[in-house]
A and B are shown apart, each in its own frame.
Chain A
Amino acid sequence: MLSLILILIAATFFSGIIIRTKSLASGRKGPGIFQPVSDVIRLFRKGVVYSKTTSFIFRIAPTIYFASIIMAMLTIPFGQNKGIISFDGDFIFFAYVLALGKFFSIIGALDTGSSFEGMGASREALYSMFAEPAFFILMGSLALLSGHTSFYQIFAALHLGSQISYALAILATFVLLMIAMIESSRMPIDDPKTHLELTMIHEVMILDNSGFDLGLILTAGYLKFAIYGALIVNLFIGSIPLQYSVPSFFAIQFLLAVSIGLIESFMARFRMSHNPQFIVALTSVSLLIFFAVLLILEKFI
């Protein structure tokens, strides 16, 4: 329950901080950090425009996408506190319920019959497919290291063995951060601020969404960031008491948001055709963690 509240709070300022960091880095003052939230609230009050080509799929897709993110959020624990849904293998459910949302956002995009949105959908499906093995290998390594198979138990038991696990947690942070960037379609995979439909991935998929539906999609995006942020925080706070872990949760989320803002300010997006290589490289980093775990457990004889 605690994790749920914390994620919701983090989601309100996460995107705002990214935008603010980017503005400051480019020498502008930028909007307040709660601007994204008020954008969404305004969208929720608006009417909707539908394309004539679309069917009911287009109308239900954003809602199901949003619901899948909420379900995924419920599985996230916080340190010693379980998530609302917690069982052995819950991270499999986490990954697959996110896939449900992806499925609907893809077919929602295809429903418009627009070639731009088809293009975005095709890229989204391909890239997220490549990112998934990295996540599963990472969780597999952590499961092997801690001897448990649920988010809560893995994170609670992660640092009981030795201090080396903190080094692994740093590598794992990199993997999770990159997965978060891929899943939320940010740099260096996708540039949310690009001005041309041909170069977009996620933004082009939601070109035709408006009003309430667009609000849901944007909220889901903010939540997604906070969810991955919470996962990263969990890598470190397993055995820390609450009075320290809650502030450190916000500190790490803040740091993440700032670093994402900095990455986006000083880096250019990769060429589309180079993205798969980059994402596959992520899997090899996961494998690296896996081999490190094997070393720690002395499985290499």
Chain B
Amino acid sequence: MTLIISFLLIPLAVMLLIPFSNPKWKSLISLAGIILNAGISGYFAVLTLLGHYFSFTFPGSLITGEIPVRIDALSGWFILIINLVFITGSMYGLFYIKAYATQKNNLTMHNIALIFVHAASIYVTVVQNSLAFLIGWEILAISAFLMIILEHEKTATLKAGINYLIQSHFSLIILMIGFMWIAHKTGSYDFTAIQSYSATVPATASMMLFLIFFIGFAIKAGFVPFHTWLPYAHPVAPAHMSGMMSGVIIKIGIFGMLRMLLIIKTDYYTIGFIILLFSVISGLYGVMLAILQHNLKKLLAYHSIENIGIIGIGIGLGCIGLGSNNQVLTTLGFTGALLHTLNHALFKSLLFYAAGNIYQTTHTLDIEHLGGLIKRMPQTAILFLISAIAISGIPPFNGFVSEFIIYTALYSWLGNANLVSVLSAIFTMAALVLIGGLALLCFTKAFGVVFLGNARRRLPDSCKEVSIGQLIPLYFITLLIVLIGIFPQAFIQFLSRPVNLFTISGLPDNNPFDGGIFDSLQSINFAAMGLVILITFLLVFRRFVLRHRTSANEQTWGCGYSAPTSKQQYTAGSFVRTYSKLFQAFFILGKEEKNIQGIFPVSGKFVTHPYDKIERWLIDKPLKNYKSFMGRFVFLQNGKLQFYILYGIVFILSVIVFPLIYNNLLALFDFFKNL
């Protein structure tokens, strides 16, 4: 209890301390606060993963009623992910934020928001009172908004931030509707009321309830078609915030879904198919658009949508397993989803931090302007390469492990007797393979164009590797990526408690991993180690063989042309041109073209602007129609004070008069009915 109260007091203390401290100390204070809070919450989290369960009840207020704080293994798993990403992110942020050292007020706001984002993320994973939950949700949304708009002097940043704010509130409203439903029917804000209520109503009603929460959380998580805020908010935010947002904040949406699955008793089988459908679409659509992006961080943002899709596939499979009493499928599905949540948090935050390094040194994120950075920033390049391989799901890194578990789930589902299941399994599998292949195309493009070859535009002379302090958190994340990839069975043990919450038996001491479903992870361990050893051996052998050989440096083969310029290199646009022609039905590709004419060299240009088709149909068009409809009433807003007073009077009159004549009106209706 004391620990939890101190958890709440630390952000307040930090908030009071930061404005009065030296600008140099602001980030450090907020980092210290985060580490303290991470220590407190991590203590509970680790214990829950070992089999403990904590439940506290706070008196709350007259409006909210009692506020229960319940920390189970699911909360514990997410708390650990949150802490991991926030500690590394804020350590990275210490260095990243130095560029803004002169903007004193901005820094104050940023650092206060930082600790609030952290505290609110953990808060929503443990509080189980709907009003208190929504307050935490709102604090999370607003403080994240404040962090996104660090560079608020730029219009694009403000626009993206406001876009995020509006969509977050849309999510809030939908969640509110769900909670209001429950509160109306049961009169309680406690989450246990949802459980008892959903167990009593027919399956269609509980399914509606779940779908409401699903949409609310899907906006936060970035499922297609609720993803449109994501590709705007991530690129404009400072790099450490992008990493934390992609690593954690969208995962809070995943957490919400999993929590609702635990407490809403409904027809899991149908729900599973619905989640699966959304996830497959998110996965494919996310990566399809990611390939086209020229802005490195926007590309990564679309990849977050793809990975949310992969996590969703795991959740969907788990639900189907629950609905059809298939213990193995349930275990595999939820394990895959939860492990991929951690894995994505790791490699995506690493990718964003690497992108942050690039932005800091080159001041651009447009990959068409970059190139050859591996010679200037070799360490960042290696870190980016490792995370790029990991995110493509390739061994020996962690992405492969979670995707492997999801594949195993799919193949185990394939043995199912039902035709619909078999067909869904095979198409989901094809989609997952395609996602993997497209991710490979995308990341070879990103890595190849940014780091390899020659610079496409002149890089600033100051462009060199960032300081070692800034790289340390990145190396730490890389270490985890490699460890999970090579020793998966050691990490998977931590998941037995969270996954056990979902399994059918649900007994607290049951270990869902018994019975050898993860035996193949042992072999993956050997295979991954074998791969690493083989590569190392071959590289050493190659070095040994070549030590006395002649080695010459020449120009790249250019078909006999000996004066190539860096502009003749393949660009990101040309690398994916065939792809974009094949898949053009799925997106809008604006082109700006100026061809070279005549015999003398003149300037020419070719620029593409990829645009999201779903955004156009779901956001832009309705908004335009809404605006034009509302435009008809613009005469009401005529700026004349007399009219406004008139509106006021009309309003007050109607408020007074309507209740007075309400009964008469009813009588009138009755009279008409009797006629």
Contact = CB atoms under 8 A, between A and B. Distances in A.
B448 A110 contact: yes
Interface centre among B417, B570, B582 (most CB of A within 10 A): B570
A144 B545 CA distance: 47
Contacts, number: 252
Contact of B434 (A122, A132, A299): A132
A113 B374 contact: no
Nearest to B389: A103
Interface string A118-139: 1101110110111011011100
Nearest to B414: A144
B665 interface: no
Contact of B415 (A57, A95, A97, A144): A144
Contacts of A107: 385, 444, 447-448, 452
B586 interface: no
A136 B429 contact: yes
A90 interface: yes
B526 A47 contact: no
Contacts of B531: 67-68, 71, 97, 100
Interface in A47-69: 47-57, 60, 63-64, 66-68
Interface string B412-452: 10110101001001100110011011101101110111001
A253 interface: no
Interface stretch (B149-157, B177-185, B533-541): B533-541
A210 B429 CA distance: 39
A185 interface: no
A271 interface: no
A285 to B, nearest CB: 13
A89 B404 contact: yes
Interface in A13-69: 44, 46-57, 60, 63-64, 66-68
Interface stretch (B51-59, B90-98, B462-470, B516-524): B516-524
B563 interface: no
B601 to A, nearest CB: 18
B454 A113 contact: yes
B543 to A, nearest CB: 9
A227 interface: no
B611 interface: no
A121 B575 contact: yes
A24 to B, nearest CB: 32
8 contacts: A47-B550, A50-B554, A89-B407, A97-B395, A114-B557, A140-B411, A212-B546, A299-B422
Interface centre among A50, A110, A113, A129 (most CB of B within 10 A): A113
B492 interface: no
Given A103-B389, A129-B440, A87 B552 contact: no
B636 interface: no
B393 interface: yes
Contacts of B389: 100, 103
A300 B400 contact: no
Interface in B528-583: 530-531, 534-535, 538-539, 542, 545-546, 549-559, 564, 566, 568-570, 574-579, 582
A111 B453 CA distance: 5
A301 interface: yes
A103 B444 contact: yes
A140 B551 contact: no
Contacts of B415: 144, 147
B574 A118 contact: yes
Contacts of A48: 546, 549-552
A113 B451 CA distance: 11
A236 to B, nearest CB: 23
B437 A103 contact: no
A145 B404 CA distance: 21
B18 to A, nearest CB: 43
A90 B452 CA distance: 33
A47 B552 contact: yes
Contact of B570 (A56, A92, A122, A287): A122
Contact of A137 (B412, B430, B453, B566): B430
B157 to A, nearest CB: 32
Nearest to A127: B578
Contacts of B551: 47-50
Contact of A103 (B394, B425, B438, B552): B394
Contacts of B449: 110
A51 B555 contact: yes
A276 B393 CA distance: 23
